[in-house]
Amino acid sequence: MSIAIDQVTATFIAESRELLEQMETALLAVARDGQDAVNAIFRAAHTIKGSAGMFGLDPVVEFTHVAESVLDKVRDGDVDVTDELVALLLACRDHIGALVDAVEGGTLDGNGDLAAAGAPLVAALQAYLGGPAPVPASGAGEPETPDAGDGHWHISLRFGRDVLRNGMDPLSFIRYLGQLGTITGIATLADDLPEADAFDPESCYLGFEIGFASGADKATIAGVFDFVREDCQIRILPPENRIAEYLAWLDELPEQRERLGQMLVRCGSVTAHELDLALAAQAVASAPVQPIGEILVGQGAVRAPVVEAALAKQRQAPEARVQQETRSVRVDADKLDRLINLVGELIIAGASANLVARRAQNAELLECTSTLSGLVEEVRDSALQLRMVKIGATFNRFQRVVHDVARELGKDIRLDVSGEDTELDKTVVEKIGDPLTHLVRNAMDHGIEPADVRAARGKPAQGTVALNAYHDSGSIVIEVSDDGGGLKRERILAKAVERGLVEAGRALTDKEIFNLIFEPGFSTAEQVTNLSGRGVGMDVVKRNILALRGSVDIASTEGTGTTVTVRLPLTLAIINGFQVGVGRSVFVIPMEMVEECIEFRELPGCDWVDLRGQPLPFVRLRERFAVAGTAARRQSIVVVRYGGRKAGLVVDSLLGEFQTVIKPLGKVFAGARFLSGSSILGSGEVALILDMAALLAGVETESQAAAA
């Protein structure tokens, strides 16, 4: 298969997945949004079917078609949207997703497993259609589209001037159209043809009004014109409500109304009688000219909203599409990663150029390198920005999780989402999905109480799980909270003692106790459910988050709810770092966490210093990393803040701010605590990036232990 076809298929796959996502969102919002959501679901299914048809992906077309027929009935109000139907349609959505996956994997044809998986869904869908399941079309026989029947479409085409020059001939489009149905009438509009002198024989001035009888659906018909969609005005009026829409459209072009009306008649799209009636009524109504649409509405022939809605839809659809297409470009993530890697190399190379310039003490060269590093910094920011995505899409996926899990548990639970616009690196987004899913499931399973307990506690019957995101000192913070029963302090403690995680009788703060649930093999669920309570879970969540250089925290009030706070770095690639020296080693502290630097004055026997009247615990990096040699005569303290905690780091020297390209630590260092990565300096030496979460957590426990 040629590359071009593969690319087109890839576009189909990407688009279908987007549509499936929209479909899912709409399905979950159907109770709230009603008709709008139903329309969105229908459109998504319809478009997938149409595109699949163009690629000859029959299994996709056949399955989607059945779902679409049911949706059509829903749209017409013949079938009510019940929870069961939503669940069924969600399952159908998943099946279509599986079919699309099969297309991608090239395993669609003759895939018996998929067909078997789809069969019960089709049967369930058929129940809504009120008929027995039809014998599946076996190769022979046209795929039918009962929603359109052999409807009479009207297509209005105005080709762009450059169509011919671009090597496309309007005639061939019309010819191709003829293969999808029967052209019942055609009128060629040559009104735009200029005077002979001004006529450019290589420009296209033609327009066509076409009456078209076909059983194809709108997407298929529109697909004919895919190649010229951008520089042409195309209107495809469906069989139903054709006259109303057409007349309304005529009103938009008052100067050509009568002529166009006649053409319509010629194409057989409107009968002369229908047009005469409308025009006569218009004449009677006399000046000021009342639009035909209004007259028909006045006569009760057409309902006003129908006309308006039809018009609004027709107008919006192509415009919105064109705008989106021109405003964004799909880029392969690999290409982006490569760009960012190169920017990383650029930064390292820039740093070493800077170093050489400084050593040479050449003022001109220094100036050049400083301009250069300014630019590199901007390039870095915009390159990283490219990979920033809003977390909203990830959050919205949880609507489905909550919906499904709530059904499974038999609880009524709502998901509240806020901070969807918070941006973070795509690579982080990809890796945060699983831990978040676990946290949300956990909140629903263990957090939210059964309805009777909630009622007894005077809470609303519907439980709430909330997802929130915001930026805080160079990190993104994601909160998963629930308004459930909260963590039971005593029980966690008892269990921890039983498991030997904590010595009996030891005084622990609430926070320490709550954080015990992240210990491996810890689970307090009284009953093991399908979802959680098997003892794997929270420790895996914590491990995954730590692997992203993040941290996780938990706060809970018994009876009112629990909040799990996940803190992650904004990016995994490049940061602004503050370099400090200890002996001959260089360490990097993420710049966003640095509050200030002060002189270190040691008080004997004290592991804190006085920071403007506040005690500030500190860590000696020299001790923590067992750096050999004696401390410098004048040591400094870098005051850092992380997740609401403040602490000082005692260092020998302050080296200043540098861009830091984060390199992962080798496997040898996998066990090293307090380090989150490494970086290469301009001189070629290696600097170690400090893991603030781990360092500061140590400070807190130690100072508390000292206090206790």
Partner 1 sequence: MNIGDTSQGAATCLAVEGEMTIYRAAELKPVLLDLVLTHAAPALDLARVTEFDSAGAQLVLVARREAVRLGKRLELRGASPAVRDAFALLGLSPEGESA
Q: Which stretch binds partner 1 (CB under 8 A): 203-211, 375-383, 566-574, 684-692?
A: 203-211
Question: What is the total count of residues that contact partner 1 (CB under 8 A)?
Answer: 27
Residue among 130 and 167 whose Cβ is closer to partner 1: 167
Structure tokens at 607: 């592991």
Applying CB under 8 A, the span of 48-56, 110-118, 184-192, 250-258 interacting with partner 1 comes to 184-192
Nearer to partner 1, 160 or 533 (CB): 160
Are 49 and 20 a contacting pair, CB within 8 Å? no
- C-alpha radius of gyration, the chain, whole number: 33
Asked if 170 interacts with partner 1 (CB under 8 A), we say yes
In the complex with partner 1, which residue's Cβ is closer, 265 or 575?
A: 265
Which residues pair with residue 414 across a beta bridge?
Answer: 464
The pattern of x and - marking residues 130 through 159 that bind partner 1 according to CB under 8 A reads -----------------------------x
675: tokens are: 């380090």
Counting contacts by CB under 8 A, is residue 233 touching partner 1? no
CB 194 → partner 1: shortest distance, Å?
8
* Cβ at position 402, least distance to partner 1 in Å: 55
In the chain the first and final C-alpha atoms are separated, in Å, by 72
Q: Does 186 bind partner 1 (CB under 8 A)?
A: yes
199 binds partner 1 (CB under 8 A): yes
Peptide bond just before 288 cis, omega within 30 deg: yes
**Rounded to 5°, angle at Cα 249 from 244 and 251:** 100
Answer whether 508's CB lies under 8 Å from 502's CB: yes
Q: How far is the CB of 205 from partner 1 (least distance, A)?
A: 6
Is 185 a binding residue for partner 1 by CB under 8 A? The answer is yes
For residues 587, 592, 593, 599, the Cα torsion angle rounded to the nearest 10 degrees is 70
The helix (run of H) or strand (run of E) holding residue 568 is strand 561-569
For residue 164, state whether it binds partner 1 (rule: CB under 8 A). Answer: yes
Cα 176 to Cα 179, 229, 318, 480: the distances in Å are 5, 15, 22, 54
Select from 189, 247, 467, 492 the one that contacts partner 1 (CB under 8 A). Answer: 189
Query: Contact region for partner 1 (CB under 8 A) — 80-88, 161-169, 242-250, 364-372?
Result: 161-169
Q: Which is nearer to partner 1, 188 or 370 (CB)?
A: 188
Q: For residues 263 and 243, what is the distance between their CA atoms, to the nearest angstrom?
A: 13
Which span sits near partner 1 by CB under 8 A: 138-146, 193-201, 470-478, 645-653?
A: 193-201
Residue closer to partner 1 (CB basis): 176 or 669: 176
Is the CA virtual torsion 87, 88, 91, 93 positive or negative?
negative
Query: What's the rounded Cα separation, in Å, for the pair 437 and 440?
Result: 5
* 3-class state of residue 484 by DSSP: coil
Determine if 204 is a binding residue for partner 1 (CB under 8 A): yes
In angstroms, the CA 638 to CA 649 distance is 5
**Rounded distance, CA 426 to CA 335, Å?**
13
The reply to whether 202 sits near partner 1 by the rule CB under 8 A is: yes
Does position 174 interact with partner 1 (CB under 8 A)? The reply is yes
- Dist CA 34 CA 19 (whole Å): 19
Q: Which is nearer to partner 1, 117 or 234 (CB)?
A: 234
Stretch that binds partner 1, among 188-196, 337-345, 467-475, 588-596 (CB under 8 A): 188-196
Nearest to 694 by CA among 672, 662, 667: 672
- The distance of closest approach from Cβ of residue 202 to partner 1 in the complex, given in angstroms and rounded to an integer, is 5
Number of alpha carbons in the 13 Å side-chain half-sphere of residue 40:
18
User: What own/partner pairs with CB < 8 Å and gap ≥ 24 does 450-456 have?
Assistant: 450/411, 451/411, 451/412, 453/485
Q: Which is nearer to partner 1, 185 or 463 (CB)?
A: 185
β-pairing verdict for 585-590 and 686-690: parallel
The answer to the question of residue 41 lying near partner 1 (CB under 8 A) is: no
171 interacts with partner 1 by CB under 8 A: yes
> Judged by CB under 8 A, does residue 187 bind partner 1?
yes
Closer by beta carbon to partner 1, 261 or else 291: 261
Query: Could you give the CA distance from residue 225 to residue 153 in angstroms, rounded to a whole number?
Result: 15
> Which of residues 56, 112, 201, 521 is near partner 1 by CB under 8 A?
201
Q: How many CB atoms within 10 Å of residue 206?
A: 18
> Among 466, 394, 431, which residue's Cα sits nearest to residue 541?
431
Options 186-194, 312-320, 566-574, 676-684: segment touching partner 1 (CB under 8 A): 186-194
Residue 176 within binding range of partner 1, rule CB under 8 A:
no
Q: Which is nearer to partner 1, 170 or 569 (CB)?
A: 170
To the nearest whole angstrom, how small is the minimum distance from the Cβ of residue 155 to partner 1? 13
Tell me how far, at minimum, the Cβ of 237 lies from partner 1, in Å: 18
Q: Footprint of partner 1 on residues 263-282 (CB under 8 A)? A: 263, 266
Interface with partner 1 includes 193 (CB under 8 A)? yes
Stretch of residues binding partner 1 (CB under 8 A), selected from 172-180, 468-476, 513-521, 619-627: 172-180
In this structure, which long-range contacts are made by residues 457-462, counting pairs with CB atoms below 8 Å and at least 24 apart in sequence? Answer: 457/559, 459/483, 461/412, 462/412, 462/413, 462/414
Structural tokens at position 119: 């069969």
- For residue 426, CA distances in Å to 14, 193, 411, 662, 674 come to 17, 52, 33, 16, 25
CA dist., res. 94 & res. 100, Å (int): 10
Residue number with CB closer to partner 1 (206 or 278): 206
Give the residue with the Cβ less far from partner 1, 174 or 296. Answer: 174
C-alpha distance from residue 308 to each of 219, 242, 301, 511 (Å): 21, 13, 14, 59
Burial class, 507, CB count within 10 angstroms (exposed 0-12 / middle 13-18 / buried 19+): exposed
Q: How far apart are CA 432 and CA 546, in angstroms?
A: 11
Q: Give the residue with the Cβ less far from partner 1, 124 or 265.
A: 265
Q: Does 260 bind partner 1 (CB under 8 A)?
A: no
Q: Which of 11, 107, 182, 188 binds partner 1 (CB under 8 A)?
A: 188
The stretch among 57-65, 134-142, 164-172, 581-589 that binds partner 1 (CB under 8 A) is: 164-172
From 38-46, 165-173, 242-250, 683-691, span contacting partner 1 (CB under 8 A)? 165-173
DSSP 590-649: EGGGEEEEEE--PPTT-SEEEETTEEEEEEEHHHHTT--SPPPSS-EEEEEEETTEEEEE
Site for partner 1 contains 208 (CB under 8 A): yes
Give yes or no for residue 181 binding partner 1 (CB under 8 A): no
Nearer to partner 1, 196 or 628 (CB): 196
In the bound state with partner 1, the residue whose beta carbon lies nearer, of 128 and 159, is 159
- Identify which range of 95-103, 162-170, 335-343, 403-411 contacts partner 1 by CB under 8 A: 162-170
Instruction: Give the HSE-up count for residue 621: Cα atoms under 13 Å, Cβ half-sphere.
Output: 33
Least distance to partner 1, CB of residue 201, Å? 4
Among the listed residues 165, 338, 457, 534, the single contact to partner 1 using CB under 8 A: 165
Q: Which residues form the interface with partner 1 (CB under 8 A)?
A: 159, 164-165, 169-171, 174-175, 178, 183, 185-190, 193, 196, 199, 201-202, 204-206, 208, 263, 266
